[in-house]
Amino acid sequence: MAAPKVLILRAPGTNCDVETEYAFELAGARPVVVHVNRILEDPSIGEGFQILCFPGGFSYGDDIAAGRILAQRLKVHAADLIEQFRASDRLVLGICNGFQVMMRLGIFFPPEQFGPGAAKAASLALNRQGRFEDRWVHLRTVDSNSVFLRGIDRMYLPMAHAEGRFVSGGNDVLERMRSNQQLGLRYAAPDGSTGDAVLDHPWNPNGAEANVAGISDPSGRIFGLMPHPERYIDPTHHPAWTRHEELPPHGDGLRMFLNAVEYFS
């Protein structure tokens, strides 16, 4: 099958689109970076793509709240396109600010499964320590349905955000997400241990409930995470690459992009 086409949607303030484009290219996809204004003028532009990606950055300067303006513009002008990706056999990925946008769009929580007000089933709040965090984090995959996490047990990736603390709408929402295998990516200690009890800082860098670093929708085709897989593709991206003799030929983040491409093979 031909390499899947990836629509990487950028907006004013987006700053990780080039890195994300490179990661998808390295994985064998055909990425195209498109400004959101083109989609708002003609949503049909997105119909020829198999993967939709919201990259990281600070869309619209994160004015009002992280990801809110971009999400609202898409709700008003491109809701049908977003629904096409959600309902059909295609993939959606959101990284950091892209995850924040997706959370505000509510596409992780289909109303037919989560009921009225599904879009508010969970949120990404300000980091518990009340400041921007920029560090590398250990991650563990736990009972995940995500296409993007297939075959991945552990990752070490950078993160950089001030508003990424996962908060659910209550124990019933959390349990439903757990039973759906939606809570697949967790912050972990260096030895790989994780769980529902919130880890101490810095292992859980923002105080996220159940140490959640990324979630999927019930189908596993839609996935968002706060850490940046596109920032650890090459061994030279690793903070200790000049003094580490046993780094693998590719960074931990590449596997996620390979999984997306292999889904269509």
Residues annotated catalytic, as ranges: 96, 228, 230
- Dihedral angle of Cα 16, 17, 22, 25, to the nearest 10 degrees: 140
212-216 and 185-188 strand pairing: antiparallel
- How far does the chain reach from its first CA to its final CA, in angstroms? 6
The answer to whether the CB of 165 falls within 8 A of the CB of 214 is no
Rounded to an integer, what distance in angstroms lies between the CA atom of residue 214 and that of residue 93?
Answer: 11
Q: Kindly provide the b/e burial profile for residues 224-235, where b requires at least 16 CB atoms within 10 angstroms of the residue's own CB.
A: bbbbbbbbbbbe
- DSSP H helical segments within the chain, as ranges? 17-27, 36-41, 68-77, 79-87, 97-105, 111-114, 171-179, 254-262
Rounded to an integer, what distance in angstroms lies between the CA atom of residue 241 and that of residue 221?
Answer: 33
